[in-house]
Every structure is written in C-alpha cells, then in structure tokens.
Amino acid sequence: MPAILWREQMELGYKPLDDEHKEFVEVVQKSVEAANVGDFATMEWVFEKAYDYARDHFSHEEEVMERIGFPDLENHMKSHQVFIKNISELRQQYEVSASEHEKRQLAMKTADFLSVWLIGHILSRDKVYKPYLVRLRNMPPRMNY
Ligand SMILES: [Fe+2]
Ligand SMILES: [Fe+2]
C-alpha cells in the first residue's frame, strides 16, 4: 500500500486547522508503513494517535464551523462521529485478535481505512466549509485564532 502525502488541494488556508490535518497525514503515513512491515508497536501508537486526533481536531473544527456559521454543521459532525465509531471498532478488533496473521490483516485494514477516510473527508467534506473561513477575518482578534 503506498503512503499518502500532503497535497496542496488539501489546504484550507487557515493555518491552525491545516496544521492539524498535516499532523493527521503523518499518523496515516505511519499506519501505512507499520502495516506494510507488521510493526505492531507502531500500530498501537497509531490507534492511540488517531483517536486523540479525532477527539481534539474534530472538536476544534466543529467549534470553528460554528463560529463562521457553517450551515451543514450537523451532517459534518455526524461524519466525524462515524469516524470515531469506526476507528474504535477497528482498535477493539485489533486488541482482541489472537494471531499475528489476524493482527497484520487488521493493521492493513486500518491503514486502508485511515488513508481513504482522510483523503475523502478533507477533500470532499472539509473543503465545503473553506469558503466560510473568510468570515474569520471580520471577527475580533480574540476570536480569530
Ligand atoms: Fe471534518
Ligand atoms: Fe478536518
């Protein structure tokens, strides 16, 4: 499975969220590398980071979307919740898997899910609120972070 790299089309033009997305791209890249070689210690780290990322980044992003008055916030939040459910299920399956073969298969499945989800979500879902980010410019500096 090839590793994904940060692409310019993923850029939203709002540094705090772009930096978080870049961080997630790194986690996804690690998952691909770890799955390819069967590096289980790194996979544990990936599950931990993917979950932490989801919790922190999604709540930040949802808070920004609310601030800029993004009209499709509710559906976007649902998409985030589905990710959390999926990654939690994969983690659970990974933790109870008994054989090395099973673990390797789940690592591949997870890396695949993370890669597809990340590209799809940033390019098709996060991109939709990009035009609304200009509203941050008219906000007082305290709110414009
Ligand atoms: Fe999102
Ligand atoms: Fe995002």
31 pLDDT band (50/70/90 cuts)?
A: very high
- From the CA of 20, how far away is ligand 2's center (Å)? 8
- From the CA of 126, how far away is ligand 2's center (Å)? 6
d(CA 57, CA 106): 24
In a domain, 85, yes or no: yes
Supply the pTM of this predicted model. Answer: 0.90
- Residue 65 sits in a domain of what CATH number? 1.20.120.50
Q: How many domains does the chain have?
A: 1
What's the pLDDT tens digit per position in 71-98? Answer: 999 999 999 999 999 999 999 999 999 8
Give the residue-averaged pLDDT of 60-79.
96
In a domain, 1, yes or no: no
- From the CA of 98, how far away is ligand 2's center (Å)? 34
Question: What are the angstrom distances between the C-alpha of 77 and each of 30, 66, 81, 95?
Answer: 26, 11, 6, 27
Are 43 and 110 in contact by the 8 Å Cβ rule? The answer is: yes
- Position 144 scores a pLDDT of 56
How many other C-beta atoms are found inside a 10 Å radius of the C-beta of residue 84? 14
| pLDDT of residue 143 exceeding 70 | no
- From the CA of 140, how far away is ligand 2's center (Å)? 24
- Position 7 scores a pLDDT of 87
Ligand with the closest atom to the CA of 57: 2
What's the pLDDT tens digit per position in 4-22? Answer: 678 899 999 999 999 999 9
Full residue range of the structural domain in which residue 64 is found: 8-138
- From the CA of 57, how far away is ligand 2's center (Å)? 7
In a domain, 64, yes or no: yes
